[in-house]
Structures are given as C-alpha cells and as structure tokens.
A and B are shown apart, each in its own frame.
Chain A
Amino acid sequence: MSGEEKILEVKNLKTYFFTNMGVVKAVDGGSFHLKKGQSLGIVGESGSGKSVTSLSILRLVPKPAGRIVEGKILYRGEDLVKKSQKEMRQYRGKKLFMISQDPMTSLNPVFNIGNQIGEAIRRRQNVKGNDLREKIIEMLKLVHIRSSENLIHAYPHQFSGGMKQRVMISMALACQPEILIADEPTTALDVTIQAQILKLMEEIRQKYNTSIILITHDLGVIAKFCEYILVMYAGKIVERADVKTLFKGNKHPYTRGLINSLPHLGKKQQRLSSIRGQPPDLLNLPAGCPFEPRCDYSIERCSHEYPPTESAGKGHLISCWRWREI
C-alpha cells in the first residue's frame, strides 16, 4: 500500500521545555520516518511526548518555554527546523494538516461552517461565489454529512462532536495535505462515532494516498488503523515496529506491559497484569532508562546508562539492554 518514498524524516529530534522548575525533556532524541501513503501510529501515555512530537513537526511548540534544541525534520529533503515562521505558513494547511483532539476548540465559534471550510478551500484554489459554495457542499458530502446545503450556514455549536470532527476532516480534504497529523482524533468521541471517523480517515488514505500520523493512547485504535507504530515513554521512542510485530513479537518490557494490562473483550481474566509504580516525573528523570524504576527486567546497568537503539529484525528497532532475553 505504501510507497517507498520517504516523505518525512525526523532525525534525533529534541524538544525541551525550559520552566522555572527545571528543564522538561518532552521529546529527547526521536528519529523516525514516514513514507508516502503510510499510516504511522504514535502510542504513549500522557506526558510521553507524543503530542509535542507532532507540534514540533508543525513548528507549533508553545513559546517561549518550549524550543527545538536539536535535530532535523526533513520534509521532502527540506529541513523544517530551519524555516522561519513565515515560511512555515507555506507548509501548514497545505502540506501538513493537523486534526486535534477537541474539535470544539479547533473551529472558530463566530464563523459558520461554510465560511471555515471555504477558507480552507481558498488556500489551494482561487474560487469565489457560487463555485465556492458548491465546493463546500461537495466537501461536506465527502465526509458523509447529510443535508449539507442547509448546514453550511450553521455554526459549530449546532454540531455534535462527531460532526465537528468530520468538518475538520473535510477541511483537511479541501487542503489535500500530504501529511495528515491526527492527535487523538477520537478520544473525545463515543465508540460508535469513533468507528465512523476512523473509517472515514482510512477512506481518505486509500483515495488520496495521504500519509497519516495518528497519535493516541488507545492500543485498540492503533491495532486497527496503523501499519507502523512508535511506542513512546518519557520523551524517548522505546520501540518501533510494524503492527503485527508490535502486538505479537514485542521486545520492550514497557510495550509488553502496556499490551498485557488491557482487559481483553471475550477473555475474562481474574486479575489484570499491571505495570507497577507511577508514571515518571519528567522533571526528575533517572539518568539511565526512564522505565527502569517500573521495569521487571531491570539490571544494574539500566539505572545509569540509556540503552542504544538496536535493530531486532526488519524495521523493528528497540531501546533496551535486555531485549535479546525477553
């Protein structure tokens, strides 16, 4: 399905937040790439740096506390880190599009839906009047919004959560970006609506060969939607693998713990196996592997030295001292 062409390449990305209490290493040395038409999933718990990764790609890291201190983000060979904010506008919306978790805050409450989609369309094409109106209706139809003729004058508050997320997707379609970054697009939605939205995103990927980065904490969504997956923990990418390897042949203790701690539908267990301990405090990370305090496999070395990234098979990269034994 996905071509061999690398459309986005992130190299050793480090995004830090400089706060009064100290430096938070939100993303600490992440490298990955995205191919044309590929769906890449980033999983991790809150504070693992998955959202900051996506904000870094768009160069929207909150200022002044946050800064990309090191690394390259290559979009078709061009380094986005070196671009000025003015130059970045050529990329945002046109080449890179982001759908956020809360569709309520991403739409402007004082403009009607038609206006907002029209604005997105006019970024790409110079259309006006009736042509524009027809385009807008066409876009709304593409995301399966019924009676779209009447709805172009409606305001965001008249739409339900699922419909607002569809409007966001229709804006993405209007811009026809090469990369669609979806940051927890279905977390605020109900399960039956989530199924609709994921199906829609899959349709878009097939139809327009769009590359999608899906950020979520839900392993179920990842398993159904993504081809290739990054697992993040405390700013580090701890494991990278294709979807089958990740669920069946994972090697990192954190990935394994995460998958085992899910209750399985249809298989009722007496107790869930859980990862012990608490999530890491990003201000006081241990010198070695951040997962060491909670890991069942940790050895002395883990506490003072971060493991190198090693290859455990085709496209399967892992950072753990003991992956060979696991």
Chain B
Amino acid sequence: MKGEAILEAKNIKKYFLMGKEGIFSKKARMIKAVDGINFSLYKGQTFGLVGESGCGKSTIGRCILRLYRITDGEMLFQGKNIDIFDGKEKMQYHRDVQAVFQDPYGSLNPRMRVGEFIEEPMLVHGILNSRGRRERVKKLLEVVGLNADQARRFPHEFSGGQRQRICIARALSLNPKLLILDEPVSALDVSIRAQILNLLMDLQEEFGLTYLFISHDLSVVEHISDLVAVMYLAKIVEMAPCERIFKNPLHPYTQALLSAIPVPDPELAQEAIILEGDITDPITLEKGCPFRNRCFNASEECTEKEPKLIEVEPNHLVACLKIR
C-alpha cells in the first residue's frame, strides 16, 4: 500500500487572527482552522480529505500551495521543508505542485484566450520557446480531451466541464508531481462529473501523479482515493485506507456522515444517524472532544480529555476516547 512519501505534514497548525476579544482586552481571538495535523502523501496515490464546510480541509490545501504560511509545524516536500524554500528552490516547488479549484467559471480569465491561459505558467517559469510552448498547449488540450484548434477560443465558449478540463491542462503544463484538487467536481453536473473523474484517474496513471483530493462528497472520495482522512473542526478524526474506512468506520462522526448520504437506491433501507445541532463555531472551541456536542456516544469523559489520533488497527487511525 505505502510507497515513497512525496509530502509529509508534521503537526501542521494554521491559526487565523480575528481581532481582540473586547475593546480593552489584550487577548486576541483566534480561529484554529487547522490544529495539529499529521499525514503523508505517497507517490502515485490519491489522498482523500473529507469534511463538512469550515472544517479546514481547504486550508490544508492552501498551506501546501504556500498560499498561507503555516503557524506551526513542518511541511516536508521530498524531505525538504517548504517553508524555507527560496529563489530557485521556490520556483521548482511551484512547478512541482499545482492546483485545480472548484469553480471553473471563476478560475479562468474571461479576457484571455484558452491557449494563452494554459501557456501562462510556462511563460512565467521560462520553459520552452514560443513555438515549443504552442505545441505543448496543443498537446495538453488533447490530453484533457479537447481539440487542439480550440486554443484560440475564449472561456465563455466552453461549458463547465470543458472549463474544468482547461484548468487541468494548465495545471499539467509544468509537469507537476503533486496536484491539489480542491473540490474539482463539486460545481459540475452529474453526467459531466463522471467524465472529469475518469479523466483525473487516467492522467494519474499516465503521468504518475500524486493527488490530494479535497471534497465534501464521500461517494466521490471513495471512488478516487487510496487513503482517506475525515476532518472535523480543524482535526483529523479518522484516517485509514479507503476500503477500510468505508466498510468499517469507527469514529462516530464518520459513521454519521456515511449514514447521512442518501444512496440512490430506493429499496435500500437506510438507517440514517441524524446528528443533532450544527457544527460548533470554531471560535468558541473549548477543551475536550470537538465533536462531543453532537456525538451520540459522548459521556462525561469527552468534555475533559481531548482525544488523540491513535492507531487502533494496522493503518487505521481514530481520534475517539471510546475506541481503543
């Protein structure tokens, strides 16, 4: 299962400052978006990160892309700390790590021809001469399933699925090793979603890419991932190989999440675990287990001790006091 780790996250923390508690207070309020997370991305594999809105899954993606500076912890890319990268190393890192985002309408510049858009990263990094770049744009368009002669068109001439293909082509233009896919199919229609997922899986095989796949949709994550981590309020609550987490979820939150997905099969009797209440506001987070207010298994113990992510079965990590 495991191979060579391409990226290791060690105790990553990302806090956002929210201003003072009161006018005369000296204490600043903090939002803990990511709070002490460890994981590794293995070469050629897909790491799925699931969670509900506001749990910090996109923040992790942004930390890896160096769009945010991490508050504490170490992010190692091929053994080197990405935080101290400078100059050439930094450029190389950005060549190796690329991203595809959720909204293909917002990611494309409406005034730029698609060809220019795909070419731009190569221009920035000074790769190839102009003819070489144009050739490569054509090749990339074909790789993602579009026509080479569509390079001169503008984004508005494409549908959502096609635009997402264009974004993928741009991300591939620098021959990256790692792709951060932040909800790449969430904005797409069902029939188009399958096309893009298939494309992503084909590309992974062809170019040996590593994916960090961020999504709130468990069925999509199950389809594409090798390793899955479930996040709840800035922390990973369960992490295991894909089949294991879906066959035998151990954390109460994972269980509830899995049972809450409506399965498109009317005959399947589904006993949904309905969680009470809403997600706790990350600002007012107290000590203890962050999930205890909504947990059907919570007891006195959960308000006092904070559960740690421990290995309960080989490769299966869970953060719950009830599960040893």
- The interface of chain A, by Cβ under 8 A from chain B, is 45-46, 146, 160, 162-163, 190-196, 198-199, 217-225, 243-244, 247-248, 257-259, 261-266, 268-269, 271-276, 278-279
Contact = CB atoms under 8 A, between A and B. Distances in A.
A265 B219 contact: yes
Contacts of A191: 52, 216, 218, 257, 260-261
Given A223-B266, A265-B219, A192 B191 contact: no
B190 A219 contact: yes
A221 B265 CA distance: 10
Interface string B198-221: 100100000000000000101110
Interface residues of B, number: 45
A272 B202 CA distance: 12
Contacts of B246: 265-266
B53 interface: yes
A265 B263 contact: yes
Interface string B239-266: 0001100110000000011101111111
A222 B264 contact: yes
Nearest to A218: B262
Contacts of A221: 262
A262 B219 contact: yes
Interface stretch (B9-17, B111-119, B274-282): B274-282
Contacts of B242: 268
Interface centre among B53, B194, B246, B247 (most CB of A within 10 A): B194
Contacts of B109: none
B257 A264 contact: no
A223 B268 CA distance: 10
B219 A263 contact: yes
A224 B277 CA distance: 22
Per CB-CB distance, the 8 closest pairs between chain A and chain B, nearest first, are: A220-B262, A274-B194, A263-B223, A261-B194, A190-B52, A45-B189, A275-B191, A272-B194
A224 B257 contact: no
Interface string B157-198: 001111000000000000000000000000001111111011
A95 B111 CA distance: 47
A192 B222 contact: no
A272 B256 CA distance: 26
B272 interface: yes
B86 interface: no
Interface centre among B160, B161, B256, B274 (most CB of A within 10 A): B274
A46 B189 contact: yes
Q: Is the interface of B mostly helix, strand, loop or mixed?
A: helix
B263 A271 contact: no
Given A218-B262, A221-B262, A265-B263, A192 B193 contact: no
Contacts of B216: 190-191
Contacts of B220: 263
A238 to B, nearest CB: 13
B189 A263 contact: no
A278 B274 contact: no
B222 A247 contact: no
Contact of A279 (B192, B219, B279): B192
Given A220-B264, A264-B219, A265-B219, A274 B278 contact: no
Contacts of B159: 278-279
A131 to B, nearest CB: 30
Given A46-B189, A190-B279, A271 B201 contact: yes
Contact of A269 (B160, B223, B279): B223
Given A45-B190, A274-B191, 7 more contacts: A190-B52, A223-B266, A244-B267, A265-B258, A266-B222, A271-B201, A278-B159
B264 A247 contact: yes
B81 interface: no
Contacts of A146: 277
Contact of A263 (B191, B197, B279): B197
Contacts of B219: 262-265
Given A248-B267, A272-B198, A224 B190 contact: no
B238 to A, nearest CB: 15
A199 B261 contact: no
A223 B190 contact: no
Contacts of A275: 191, 194-195
B299 interface: no
B223 A219 contact: no
B266 A247 contact: yes
Contact of A217 (B190, B194, B198, B262): B190
